[in-house]
Amino acid sequence: MPLALPPPEIDRRRFPELVAEMLARVPVHTPEWTATSPADPGVTLLHLFAHVTESLLYRASLIPERNRLKFLSLLGIGLAPGREARGLVSFANARGDPAACPIPAGTALAAGALPFRTTTGLDALPVVLALFQKIPLADPPTELADYYRLLYASWNRPVPQPLLLYETRAVEGPVDLDQGLEAALWVAVLARPGPGAPVTASALAGRFLSLGFAPAPDAGSARLGPVEQRLAEAPPLVFELAVATPPSAAGAPPGIRFLPLASRFTTDPLSGATVAELALPGDAASFSPFADLAPLEAGVGALPPLLDAPDLAARLIGWIRIRPGRVRRLAHLSVNAALARQVEDVSGERLPDGDGSPGQLRQLARRPVIPGSLRLTSIENGTQVAWTVVDELAACAGEAPLPGSAPAFAPATAVMLDAEAGLLRFGDGMAGRRPPAGAILHAAYEVCAGAAGNVGPGALTAGPSVPAGVTATNPLAFTGGADPEGIEEGDLHVRRMLSHRDRLVTADDFAAIAWRTPGVAMGRVELIPASHPEVAPGVAGTAPGAVTLIVLPAAASSPGATPRPDPAFLAAVCHHLEPRRLVTTELVIRGPDYAPLWLSVGVSVAGGFDAEAVRAAVASRLAVLLSPLPPPGTPLSALLGTLYGPAPDPALRGWPLGGTVRARMLAAEAARVPGCLAVEGLLIARGSGPAVEDVPLAGLELPEIRGISVTIGDPLPLDLVRGTAPPETPAGPPMLPVPIVPETC
């Protein structure tokens, strides 16, 4: 589709500016010409020359850029359209029908004036969840161990050997499954609180439980393995229902078995938030609350943890145990969850009727259009015709078959869509049909608000189609929403599409495509080919078939912090790169390893300069030099380079990976600050180590300034900068205060 790029002007001067400029030159070049009124014949000639010059400038500004844009238009590559925000929605069936409360896909939600719709359906069960972990006590107090020995002795029971103690810890945030006993997370399924008929296990038997969760990347990284390897790997999570069994002997505690629950994930759980649909057993007797246990039986061995809260124990229906598979850390877990998108439906839009001409263009009323959502129909002589959206009209069949021609790859009733511009292009009759004269065209499609859809947690509310008694909200922030691509960046990426064709093959392809990740503000991309962090971090050529991609956001999460990719950032990059990589490539996406640095600089200030301003300028200059991000204002073309041109300067990307930090180089940089007369001294140390001349970095390491001090004169000791200097003790014997006796009469 043609690019929606306005041609820039080489020279913006117009007729009045040209006339004024020539009249201003008259006293310089022809001082004898003093009569420059509009009635003077010489001024008339200037007007004529200005008119001709304006016409030449207009054509000079138009022809070269128009030719370039025409060549780019022939590529059939448009600007990237806006992307809709996606996230997780949790429904609470507090007062709805406990027997049946279906919420179909496409249910409308809202966050203020922004519309949202669910993409998956669910059955809102009248339950809530409580999460617990058994955390072992590494070094229990002696008094606690003696207490349990006395307790077992009072019940005439033998003390288990060895005596392993744990504490039941409620989970309210991110959870590491490996921290608990048996590497498991215990989920208590509780009946909803409040008045009304109590919810029992019979209300859950044979239904589906929708669990929404978001995985937490390990150590700030995400891994995309080869497709065949991922298909053979273990499931993301293992869900089991704890079922009580009769005791093995009289007086013995009840036994337990775990019934595997069939699960289906709506999306890849390794690429972001998803929903797991669990098929609950049809027999209500399978739900075991493990009540009426003896004091020494509850929570012992493989039994579920003991609930100390009476209100929770009274509403307990059963226990679900979650064990890790490919996912070992969870950032969030909720019940009655569904995936949602920030979209708005546009249906029944009437377009101008067909006129039978070749290459007809039709403009949609709303944009950007979400790719894949357009449904175009035409009514021709009372017959409804559906049109297919294609990427290239040249591969479509014509209105009439040509003798000896090869079969077409696409039907004749095809249309091309520029999603960013909302522009439709029809065929010319030879490749693709022409809407005949009088054909009535109707379009239905979806649009989004772009980055405005990235709403924070708790912003969504239930819409009018949500069943009564059910509320909805988003426990996590929505991510992935992006505005349409800008003209400058789009022009650069469109030209680079000639080389990578939207496939990750070469190192330049990884950098160019990763920079175009929608919904994130990318600050830096570094590629280490044939490398894996678990083999030899930062060393290229040590792991064939693997690629390590270092990504950083354009700004830190808080002022003064070091930029680090969060789980949402990594999930967006994974979602963008997954369909574009080779099936045999293992891709590890992560942030760098930061080496903590402490700096102390002493400078002398030249006369006439503000000492505080010079000190602040020195600290700022050193921070920019050691920053992992490019200097502010660096254009993207300088980071990616030009197509078929010289490689970009690596120094523009920020401090290089594994580059040694040298004290002499920092001192030279500080001396370049205006007003800095001399650098009296510079101390640098890594972490809690002593001051050194050079701090070598290796692998995926980048410097992180933990603290910097700039003083007038000699630099401060590093222990003072780090705050680890020992307290000063006064010399001599300790001084005691002398009490003052008040005067008495």
Give backbone dihedrals phi and psi of 479, rounded to 5 degrees, phi first. Answer: -135, 170
Look at residue 301 in the predicted model and tell me its pLDDT. Answer: 78
Q: Is the pLDDT of residue 312 over 80?
A: yes
Q: Are residues 682 and 623 in the same domain?
A: yes
- List, for residues 433-492, the tens digit of each pLDDT value: 999 999 999 999 999 998 899 999 999 999 898 999 999 999 999 988 888 877 667 767
**Residues 615, 710: contact at Cβ < 8 Å?**
yes
Domain boundary among 309, 335, 361: 335
What is the pLDDT at residue 642?
Answer: 66
- The DSSP result for 622-660, as a single string, is HHHHT-SSPPTT--HHHHH--TTSPPPPGGGGSSPTT--
116 lies in a domain?
A: no
Residue range 372-418, pLDDT digits in tens? 899 999 999 999 999 999 988 888 888 887 776 667 778 889 999 98
In the prediction, which pLDDT does 673 show?
94
Residues 432 and 391 in one domain: yes
- C-alpha 414/C-alpha 130 separation (Å) is 53
Domains contained in the chain, number: 5
Rounded CA separation 710/612 (Å):
10
> 702-745: per-residue pLDDT in tens?
999 999 999 999 999 998 888 876 655 555 555 555 555 566 55
Secondary-structure breakdown of the chain: helix, strand, coil percentages, each rounded to the nearest 5: 25, 30, 45
Whether 2 shows a pLDDT value over 50: the answer reads no
**Do 238 and 321 share a domain, yes or no?**
yes
Rounded Cα–Cα distance for residues 662 and 672 (Å): 16
Q: What is the pLDDT of residues 512-566, one digit of tens each?
A: 889 888 878 888 999 999 998 888 888 888 888 899 999 998 888 777 788 988 8
State whether 328 and 418 are in the same domain. no
Higher pLDDT, residue 86 or 501:
86
Q: Which tens digit of pLDDT belongs to each residue from 664-707?
A: 999 999 999 999 999 999 999 999 899 999 999 988 899 999 99
DSSP characters over 260-279: EPPEEESS-GGGS-EEEEEE
**Do 271 and 418 sit in the same domain of this protein?**
no
The residue-averaged pLDDT of 418-440 equals 91
User: When comparing pLDDT for 133 and 326, which is higher?
Assistant: 133
Average pLDDT over residues 619-626: 92
**Structural domain boundaries enclosing 387:** 344-401+408-447
Q: Is 608 part of a structural domain of the chain?
A: yes
Residues in the chain: 745
Beta bridge partners, 337, equal 90
Residues 387-397 as b or e (16 or more Cβ within 10 Å = b): bebbeebeebb
Which residues have CB under 8 Å from 382's CB, separation 6+?
none
pLDDT at 196 over 50: yes
Q: Is the pLDDT of residue 503 over 90?
A: no
pLDDT band at 87 (very low <50, low <70, confident <90, very high): very high
CA distance 181 to 196: 37
The pLDDT of 342-363, averaged and rounded, is 93
Residues 686 and 608 in one domain: yes
Mark whether 587 and 647 lie in a shared domain: no
723: left (phi over 0), alpha (psi -120 to 50) or beta: left
Q: Is the pLDDT of residue 145 over 90?
A: no
* Same structural domain, 280 and 363: no
User: Is there a domain that residue 326 lies in?
Assistant: yes
Q: Which of 289, 318, 335 is at the close of a domain?
A: 335
DSSP annotation of 571 reads: H
pLDDT averaged over every residue in the chain? 84
For the cut 60, the answer to whether the pLDDT of residue 230 exceeds it is: no
pLDDT band at 1 (very low <50, low <70, confident <90, very high): very low
Q: Do 585 and 599 sit in the same domain of this protein?
A: no
Q: Which of 13-22, 208-217, 348-357, 715-724 has the highest mean pLDDT?
A: 348-357
Higher-confidence position of 69 and 208: 208
Q: Are 51 and 175 in the same domain?
A: no
Q: Which pLDDT belongs to residue 127?
A: 93
179 in the same domain as 303: yes
